[in-house]
Chain A
Amino acid sequence: MAVTSLALRRQRLTFAIGAVRQNLARGPVALPQPLAYDARMASPAATPDRALDTLCSELREIVGPSWALTGADDLRTYECDGLTGWRQPPLAVALPASTEEVARVVRLCHRLHVPFVPRGSGTGLSGGALPSADGIVIGLSRMRSILQIDLENERVVVQPGVLNLEVTRAVQAEGYFYAPDPSSQRVCTIGGNVAENSGGAHCLKYGFTTNHVLAATLVLSDGRIAHLGSACLDAPGLDLLGVLIGSEGTLGIVTEVTLRLLPQPEWVETLLAAFPSTDTAGEAVAAIVAHGVVPAAMEMMDRATIQAVESTMHAGYPDCGAALLVELDGPAADCRSLFQAVEELCRAAGATEVRVARDEAERALLWKGRRGAFSAMGRVSPDYYVQDGVVPRSRLAGVLAGIRELEQRHQLRVANVFHAGDGNLHPLILYDRKEAGGAERARELAEDILGLCLEAGGSLTGEHGVGRDKMCQMPRLFSVADQEVMDRVRSAFDPHRLANPGKVLPTPRLCGEHPGIYRPHPAELAGLAERM
């Protein structure tokens, strides 16, 4: 190895870090701006218009004219995902039908330096599928075949557009299920689940998407097709699949996924316990954990949520300060006595009522309120924003008290519904965008709640992802060095930053003016100025 080349490389690295530091001095955020992002515009060979014509006509050639969308009305359908606050129509939408077509579309993007955004059903809540103004959307919704069901080996091979619930439906008659069950499971796709590392109500016990994927076919941003993982455990070499899952479409496009199936548990039992307050319900949660029980699910709803759910969908929830939904599954031999223990622990913590579902219909009713909590909120408040923060379970009570204070300060109501077992909070901030400053106040409150989570040692997001929505919040959790390491890994997969650019990792262009975290001005540090 030539010593000079090492020195040069180090110099470049130092330069990059220097640039990051400079950016920090200007504002809170972070990484050097991707170079290739604007390269199309800089290309002297073609004017943007001509480049767009080339792009659209070649897209039509690859996927067929009916699957390349370029009309303004069609594009508007793709301008946002489940987080509707961020909108941006793309240049075009391609709907390929095979790995080969995806690879050809991506090769075209690579040749023309056009960024691309992969998209499943668009149910994401962090703007992860928000288009780039100068890029295209690659929709995977036509790739929805289950390619192989191999029960002997407890696995299935699916295309990315297969809906989450379809996997379980395809194997449940044989006694199997696919464990990750995000609440959007009726409509969200496996490709999207891989991008977001989706969990669901049962992930405390069963883990996340990353624990259930064995292999994936990945189209890299230069159009090459890589096969990661293996049909059985322990694929040789680095666990690239582990990094890919949860990378929010920034490392390439997944076009085939091998999933692990699990045998259905013999026994499932669900109860709903009513408590005077979230604090007493929280005590029950702590007692259940201390008892050594790992429930399949443990969900809490506060009074505001219960009232909204009752007024809209009549799930029959008791009128109380907090409701705790606990589900146990496993071998009947073990679960029966544990379930009894859970019932007793709930009563000991102050439960005023404990309802046990007697059959599948009653269980569905108990879950109905929980699963429908978000949409119920949509009917009682003109607008709402769902926050997705995580706190260590033991700090729940303190953080909920903090949220109540924030409600007072911002003069907005917050309804709390969350996965109590894993500390994943979903405060719903109720506001009216027609009120002056309403949206802005809701956003501030949402950010303040994240602050509480981070102070308690938690995380920015438990399951909705960083996407565009929280990209500029990343520096609150990750240092410049942390982000730089992620960016280095990203470069290894996508050196030209074409795969879903402007997501997850902050860029000065997109985050430069964001207020972000408070950092003292140099003048303050020098004692020349102070903040009031």
Chain B
Amino acid sequence: MSAPRPTELAQLAGAGLEVTESPPGSGLPDGLALARPRSEEEVSVLMRLATQHGWAVTVRGQGTKSAWGPDVERCDLVLDTTGLNQLVEHEPGDLICVAGAGMRLSELQELTSRAHGYRQRLMLDPPGSDAATLGGLVATRAAGPLRTRYGTMRDLLLGARFVLADGTIAKTGGKVVKNVAGYDLDKLLVGSLGTLAVVVEVALRLHPQAEARESVLLEGVDSATAAKFLIALRAAPAVPSVAEALWPEGAVLVQIDGTRDGAIRQAELVAELDPRARVLDLAEASYWEEVLRNRPWDRPGVVLGVSVPLSATRAVLDLVADTAIQEHAVALSLRGTIGCGELRVAASSDKVEGVRREVERLGGQVEVHRAEPELRGLGSRPRDPLAGELMAAVKQALDPGHILAPGRLEGLYQTAASPIAGAAGG
């Protein structure tokens, strides 16, 4: 069960598999074997070996989200997916593409927006994640402001190929938008943090890029005004791509994509919702775009995903405003018409637990998106312990040896008070 030396692993896996030591600066322990398979067959061979030897495997893309979710209990080798980075298919007429899970988001955007005669892309914009891999975005369900209109990977993933802990190669879904054949295991993979399977290939739904974008800003307002504006926006004759409440600025930024005339007309209608709101010119729009693209990842601190019922929007903004007075660390980017976003707080368990308690009191929940290892397990748990038990059963069914990111999934559903029997495996 002891961790394999890189040379040992290379020898066992056979010719071809690239195995190195974890590079310095990667945040990984020194001397850890890092395997970089280039095909699903190589992934399968590697996982079979890991199962045979009981090696704990951490799946890793570019490592941009390695501080997301509960820390693993042990790691004997790292499976680096960046060698699985081919574009398998891009069919612009079908608005779909199929690519290796190790491909970077930025690379996919580049490839799909270039196809002749079409302007289309994957409508996902998790802040600071251009380098992130598609597989990593599946594992974390990371999203950004565009979620308001286009959803998350849950809404964009059409199918996947994956390898189970025992080396089984399987697929789910397909490459068509409409498909109800078999169980929708795509959904199970999205947000599973690499605990159920190694995703090796993904089929994704693309969307056409609009002709024009206009931005509207409401700035320097209190939580009551912002919340009222967001309620009015939900009923307004406009379909925003982005409707982000940004704190501590006390701002709401709305972005509208559409035809040239349509975007400007909608922006004007949105600006009429509050006398302080105004349509931005190009320079201002790009300044705020920059804020949007980094918030709240741009400074140190714990980043929490928060989701709340829409009726609690103002309460969440108040929570941030109150804390922000005493603390510089606090920043929020809230998708104000759908009730979710990301909040940065100081790296202390008191602060994180305080926010979680408050958000849960509002009927919402908290996920840890970036934190030191000891804080990563502080997110909300399922309210029903039986839901946690079912999660344990699914984990047990797909990874009975508990070798994929052991401890991480358990950290998502187990509570200290009521550990779930059988969750730790045999």
- With contacts A239-B191, A294-B207 taken as known, whether A6 is within 8 angstroms of B178 at the C-beta atoms is no
Nearest B residue (CB) for A238: B391
User: B180 — which chain A residues lie within 8 A by C-beta?
Assistant: 196-197, 208, 246, 459, 461-466
Within 8 A of B (CB), among A324-368: 330-338
**Interchain CB contact under 8 A, B382 and A236:** yes
Residues of A within 8 A of B187 (CB): 210, 239, 241-243, 245
The closest CB in chain B to the CB of A286 belongs to: B93
The reply to whether A230 and B365 form a contact with Cβ atoms under 8 Å apart is yes
A477 to B425, CA, bound (A): 33
Binds A, one of B22-30, B129-137, B163-171: B163-171
A83 beta carbon closer than 8 Å to chain B: no
Any B CB within 8 A of the CB of A9: yes
Q: Say yes or no: A207-B155 contact (C-beta < 8 A), given A236-B365, A294-B207, A485-B398.
A: yes
A509 interface contact, C-beta 8 A = no
Q: Are A236 and B412 in contact (CB under 8 A)?
A: yes
Known: A1-B426, A243-B187. 14 other contacts (CB 8 A): A3-B54, A211-B151, A227-B387, A232-B365, A236-B380, A243-B184, A294-B207, A337-B261, A390-B176, A482-B171, A482-B182, A489-B185, A492-B394, A493-B390
Interface residues of A (CB under 8 A from B): 1-3, 5-6, 9-10, 13, 152-154, 175, 196-197, 199, 203-204, 207-208, 210-211, 220, 224-228, 230-243, 245-247, 263, 266-267, 286, 289-290, 292-294, 330-338, 390-394, 419, 422-424, 457-466, 470, 474, 477-479, 481-486, 488-493, 504-505
A227 near B211 with CB under 8 A, answer no
Asked if B266 is at the interface of the complex by the 8 Å CB criterion, the answer is: yes
A2 lies within 8 A of B426 (CB): yes
A385–B65 Cα distance when bound, in Å, is 50
Give bound CA distance, A225 to B387, whole Å.
10
Given A197-B184, A234-B367, A334-B259, residue A390 in contact with residue B164 (CB < 8 A):
no
Can you list 28 A-B contacts (CB < 8 A)? A203-B178, A224-B386, A227-B386, A232-B363, A233-B339, A237-B409, A237-B413, A238-B192, A238-B196, A238-B413, A240-B394, A286-B93, A290-B117, A330-B239, A331-B266, A332-B237, A337-B259, A337-B261, A392-B96, A393-B94, A423-B176, A424-B178, A459-B174, A463-B178, A477-B182, A478-B181, A482-B172, A493-B390
CB-CB under 8 A for A459 and B170, given A226-B390, A234-B305: no
The residues of B that contact A466 with a CB separation of less than 8 Å are 180-182
Minimal beta-carbon separation of A488 from chain B (angstroms): 4
Closest to B117 in A: A290
When distances are taken between beta carbons in the complex, the residues of chain A under 8 Å from B379 are 236
Across the interface, do A237 and B412 meet the contact criterion of CB distance under 8 Å? yes
Taking CB atoms and an 8 Å cut-off, the chain B residues in 334-377 that contact chain A are 338-340, 363-365, 367
> Which residues in chain B, 147-171, are within 8 Å of chain A measured between CB atoms?
151, 154-155, 164, 166, 168-171
User: Which residue of the partner chain, among B92, B172, B184, B208, contacts A245 with CB atoms under 8 Å?
Assistant: B184
Q: Are B210 and A292 in contact (CB under 8 A)?
A: yes
Partner of A333, one of B172, B237, B383: B237
Which residues of B in the span 377-426 have a Cβ within 8 Å of any Cβ on A?
379-384, 386-388, 390-391, 393-398, 400-402, 409, 412-413, 425-426
> Bound state CA distance, A168 and B237, in angstroms?
19
Provide the residues of chain A in CB contact with B141, threshold 8 Å: 234
Q: Looking at the assembled complex, report how far the CB atom of A329 sits from the nearest CB atom of chain B, in whole angstroms.
A: 10
Chain B positions 215-233 with a Cβ under 8 Å from a chain A Cβ: none
List of B residues within 8 angstroms of A9 by Cβ: 400-401, 426
Query: Chain A nearest CB: distance from B237 CB in Å?
Result: 4
CB pair A394 B208 closer than 8 Å: no
| Chain B residues within an 8 Å CB radius of A266 | 237
Rank and list the top 3 A-B pairs by shortest CB-CB distance, nearest first: A242-B187, A334-B262, A292-B208
Q: How far is the CB of B207 from chain A (nearest CB, A)?
A: 7
B179 at the interface (CB under 8 A from A): yes
B residues within 8 A CB of A207? 151, 155
Q: Are B182 and A474 in contact (CB under 8 A)?
A: yes
The answer to whether the Cβ of B263 comes within 8 Å of any Cβ in the partner chain is yes
What's the nearest-Cβ distance from chain B to residue A213, in Å?
A: 11
B293 touches A (CB below 8 Å): no
Set of chain A residues within 8 Å of B333, measured between Cβ atoms:
none
Which one of B4-12, B77-85, B306-314 is at the A interface? B306-314
Contacts of A243 in B (CB 8 A): 183-185, 187-188
B276 contacts chain A at the CB level, 8 A cutoff: no
CB of B16 to closest CB in A, whole Å: 23
A239 contacts across to B, CB distance below 8 A:
154, 187-188, 190-192
Q: B211 touches which one: A292, A336, A464 (CB < 8 A)?
A: A292
CB <8 Å contact, A504 and B182 = yes
Q: Which residues of chain B come closer than 8 Å to A338, judged between CB atoms? A: 259, 262
Contact of B294 with A by CB under 8 A: no
Q: Which residues of A contact B309 (CB under 8 A)?
A: 153, 231-232
